[in-house]
Amino acid sequence: MIEEIYSPSSGRYEAGMEYRRSGRSGILLSELSLGFWHNFGETAPLERSKEIMRYAFDHGITSYDLANNYGPGYGTAEETFGYVYDKSFRPYRDEMFIASKAGYDMWPGPYGNWGSRKYLMASINQSLKRTHLDYFDLFYSHRYDPETPLEETLQALVDIVKMGKALYIGISRWPVEATKFAFDYLRHRDTPCLIFQDRLNLIDRRVETDGTLDNVRENGCGFIGFTPLAQGILTNRYLNGIPADSRAMQQHFLKTSQISDDLVANVKALNDIAEKRGQSLAQMALSWVLSHSGVTSVIVGCSSVSQLADSLQAVKSKEFSAEELYLIETIASKIKM
Ligand SMILES: NC(=O)c1ccc[n+]([C@@H]2O[C@H](COP(=O)([O-])OP(=O)(O)OC[C@H]3O[C@@H](n4cnc5c(N)ncnc54)[C@H](OP(=O)(O)O)[C@@H]3O)[C@@H](O)[C@H]2O)c1
């Protein structure tokens, strides 16, 4: 069957999305980015993936977050991206900021994991093939490798930029001291780290206290937060039981055993505050992350267009009163996962 030609909304840059500068760089990212960790792999309906990607682009999302191992089915989220990109987005490549990463296990043997030059170089080549792209806008070291010399990983990233396979580089989930070394190393090779990626949500605020956010800000680097909804906990998903099609039911990264009565009671209390603010809980959780200074963008996951449509409204209400913040943060601090 011949697919209809995609014609994006002409109002995509007037949909309310803000574009925030990543640190001291020339790059502006949409404050919401679309994440491909779950929901775009080989088990996800292709039609739904296409609709989500089109909806995102139509509503001003320019930033797309992939990784070599996203699926499920390693590599399959990148394949889905590549398929939809060919059919819908190729004419709009210059309006898109597309990131991928390498750092977790991808293929068997000693060269398919962690941070060696061999792995990073092979992985970006594979990712480019799967996504049908000529280059990535951003390529990340996905995790800190305690065994490989940092210089080896970092020089591979610098060389990836020199080879034109990525325009910028980023770092995800490195400890603070190693990140300081990385910022220095990269700056001296004229390839400053564009953005640092780590978890930030109402339940997990480690980056605020362990020096990560301060270090990133002081070094003129951007920050992009992942798992802003705590994989769905900070939404209405589990307020009335555990839906059959929810992430928790997959029993993998989120497990049904984590959805305790205590947790649900606290989430309900947060939901009440969100309602008083005229927001869904997902919107409030996203607005909270976006209200942090130094946050360039927040990566949202979604398993339907309606979830994305709901989450997108978060950009409209990013102000919190001191009283609201106190209440929200006090309740959230009681949630243990
Ligand atoms: N660098 C890293 O190591 C790293 C690690 C993790 C994630 N990430 C990135 O961050 C992205 C986001 O992570 P995540 O998928 O865990 O994010 P999340 O945004 O915290 O959770 C997404 C899940 O929340 C539910 N949801 C989303 N919007 C909703 C709404 N409006 N109402 C109700 N439920 C809603 C859906 O659950 P259901 O599926 O149950 O419907 C969805 O799959 C990833 O895709 C990836 O790009 C990076």
3 state SS for 183-242: HHHHHCCCCCEEEEEEECCCCCCHHHHCCHHHHHHHCCCEEEEECCCHHHCCCCCCCCCC
Percent of the chain with pLDDT over 70: 99
Q: Does the reported pTM lie above 0.95?
A: yes
Listed as ranges, residues in the chain with pLDDT below 50 are none
H or E, element range at 173? none
pLDDT at 3: 74
- Which atom of ligand 1 sits closest to the CA of residue 283? 31
Residue 117: strand, helix, or coil: helix
Into which CATH architecture does domain 12-238+286-315 fall?
Alpha-Beta Barrel (3.20)
Q: Which long-range contacts (CB under 8 A, 24 or more apart) does 301-306 make?
A: 301/35, 301/37, 301/38, 301/39, 301/227, 301/229, 301/231, 302/34, 302/39, 302/52, 303/38, 303/39, 303/245, 303/247, 304/48, 304/52, 305/48, 305/51, 305/52, 305/55
Taking each continuous run of H as one helix and of E as one strand, the counts in the chain are 11, 10
Report the first-to-last Cα separation within the chain, whole angstroms.
46
Ligand 1 test: best mutation among 201, 226, 236, 239, most atoms within 8 Å of CB? Answer: 226
Distance 233 CA to ligand 1 centre (A): 10
Please give the biggest Cα pair distance in the chain: 56
Cα separation, 86 vs 93, in Å, equals 10
Distance 132 CA to ligand 1 centre (A): 24
Query: Does residue 281 line the site of ligand 1, with CB under 6 A?
Result: no
pLDDT at 234: 98
**Which residue's alpha carbon is nearest to atom 43 within ligand 1?**
302
**Which residue's alpha carbon is nearest to atom 30 within ligand 1?**
307
pLDDT at 4: 82
Give Cα separations from 145 to 54, 107, 115, 316 (angstroms).
36, 17, 6, 39
pLDDT at 1: 64
Strand partners, 21: 28
User: Are 120 and 86 spatial neighbours (Cβ–Cβ below 8 Å)?
Assistant: no
pLDDT at 175: 98
Whether residue 72 is preceded by a cis peptide bond, meaning omega within 30 degrees of 0, is yes
Of 143, 114, 34, 17, give the one whose Cα is nearest residue 80: 34
Query: Does residue 126 line the site of ligand 1, with CB under 6 A?
Result: no
The domains of the chain are located at 12-238+286-315
pLDDT at 337: 82
